[in-house]
Amino acid sequence: MELKEEEESEPVSPTAQYLSSSTLSLCILAILEFEQVLDDSLLMQLVKDVFLSISPRFSSVMVRDENGAKQRKRVEVKLINHVKFPFCPSGLSPESYDKYLGDYISEIGMQQLPQSQPLWEIHLIRSPTSHAACTLIFKLHHSLGDGFSLMGALLSCLQRADDPSLPLTLPSVFLPSTAKDESNGSIFTRVLKIFSTVSDTVLDFCWNFVKSTTAEDDQTPIRSGDDRVEFRPVRVATMTFSLDHVKQIKTKVVATINDVVTGIIFLGTRLYMQELRHDSSNAKSTALILLNTRVFRSYESVKDMLKHDANAPWGNYFAFLHMSIPELTDDWSSNPLDFVVKARQIMNFKKNSLAVYLTARYIHSTLKNTSMGMTNLIGPVEKMALANHPVKGLYFAVVGAPQSLSVTIISYMEKLRVSVVAEDGFIDSQKLKSCVEHAFEVMLNAKVETKFLNSH
């Protein structure tokens, strides 16, 4: 593989360098489930003609220039090194293929991508599982971009299944009030707002700094606390929730969808912890939520994202938000919606703090000292297709983090797909999945109490 010296080089950001260092190496697995089998030759042609043209980063490697600074340099891409067609045994049941797929995801999740070639792979599993006729796995190194960037890249490869000439649409994103909105208030109100933000930021930053450097969560059924946990195999379990049902819960407590989903996951996690070790239901446990720090949150074309003055630029633009997982009280079943209310209260406090923008340099220790990671993405409302092959479902996972547990959420066709990525042999991912599903059902069927309507 020879470097094309005539190509312009691109500096590698400090975050991207750290995400591909010996200290930390994160990858995003995007899994697409198809209604019909993809042909091998068609996939190779699509990768060559569509995928590689999305971004120069997909055909670049990191090298050092004469000054020792890391740059991205274009190289010749040998597709045979990147596109994999693993052998699959024939004649098995869909449930057996589910296990085969789970084992395969665990296997490729542990493998390091070679630094001598562009940091991505595509794997086609041609065996029918209980969810799909075939499964396509994109393994993309986090140094190429964050989930927002890579989702934008993915959407540029896909079309609407019902009418490819129409653009895919995404759910509306409501952003926080801007300074312009606040300008209508009195000077006294604005001064109080500034003081409150500064005060919250100082308190939150001090707590975040301690959590990122010295203070560790307790060892519990969801946190082994072992060194090098990022190199251990993981097991992925997914579940699907109706977005309409989530909105029903949302109206009960006057919260956001993010608040509801966070509350469901927190309650399900505490139930799992209690089932495995009763005293751990009140243990010190923190969730680390990944936030997109872009001002504009709607996906743009990759061409626009790559511009220097892009509203939603390509790259890694994220920060961490620490959230203490509420303790599980003895009477939790009488007020399960309290978990959503508490999630909303913590979120509102954190939104009034700028500390999330100040702690990104401590990525490894921040992850290691907390109990779980959470991140979410917005997917299209309509069914997608790749070269007229409809996509039945999709989900994603982040691997390589020094945590025993992470949870990812993505919306697609009015449904939420939640993925539990758990340390294999330490966390029972299926049991945890059942606990989260139980938490969802309990909240959906919970009666509305007056205090929830008045608590906002």
Q: What is the pLDDT of residue 451?
A: 53
Range with the lowest mean pLDDT among 182-191, 268-277, 293-302, 379-388? 182-191
Please state the rounded mean pLDDT for residues 433-454.
83
Per-residue pLDDT of 215-233, as tens digits, reads 799 999 999 999 999 999 9
Q: What is the pLDDT of residue 452?
A: 52
pTM of the model: 0.86
Per-residue pLDDT of 273-302, as tens digits, reads 999 999 998 999 999 888 777 766 567 777
Distances in Å between the Cα of 360 and the Cα atoms of 61, 93, 229, 314, 322 are 24, 45, 21, 18, 12
Please state the rounded mean pLDDT for residues 244-273.
94
Summary mean pLDDT of the chain: 84
Phi, psi angles (nearest 5°) of residue 115: -70, -10
Residue 183's pLDDT band, with cuts at 50, 70 and 90, is: very low
**At residue 396, does pLDDT exceed 80?**
yes
- What is residue 142's three-state secondary structure? helix
What is the percent of the chain where pLDDT is above 70?
82
As given in the structure block, the two tokens for residue 294 are 């872009």
Q: What is the pLDDT of residue 196?
A: 40
Q: Which comes out higher in pLDDT, residue 186 or 32?
A: 32
**At residue 157, does pLDDT exceed 80?**
yes
CA 398, CA 396: separation in Å to the nearest integer? 7
Contact assessment for residue 386 and residue 158, using Cβ atoms and an 8 Å cutoff: yes
